Amino acid sequence: MPVPVVKIKLDTRILDRMARDLNRNTDRVIATIAHQVEAEAKQLAPVDTGALKSSIHTGRVGVAHYVVADGVEYGIYQELGTSRMAAHPFVIPAVESVGRQIVDRWGPIF
């Protein structure tokens, strides 16, 4: 005897909305993190004239893709040093600090 076919209709509107919003929400979170790194880097940047500190900015490259950079040619030398000058890192410690904050806050969830 044949088994009767039962039609099942799934309402996926909520899942569809979540999937649609995922990129936007991810982008917002990454933007917030990038701006936190920018703020921390500005606090840590060595100051002589203030040009380095005021040139630090966050730029959006794409969806959930941001870059924190400085706008002076000598920023990399301050960060990494040279054969004649000690390093005065400000971006790497900023990334590490914000990363620790993220792990402390969200790590237990994962």
- For the stretch 30-57, pLDDT in tens is 999 999 999 999 999 999 999 999 999 9
Supply 84's token pair.
């004649």
Query: Which of 84, 20, 74 minimizes the C-alpha distance to 52?
Result: 74
With tokens 């569809």, the residue in question is 16
Q: What's the whole-model pTM score?
A: 0.79
DSSP state of 65: E
pLDDT mean across residues, the chain: 91
- The rounded radius of gyration (Å) of the Cα atoms in the chain is 23
Q: How confident is the model at residue 20 (pLDDT cuts 50, 70, 90)?
A: confident
* pLDDT tier, 91 (very low <50, low <70, confident <90, very high otherwise): very high
Taking residues 14-26, report their average pLDDT. Answer: 83
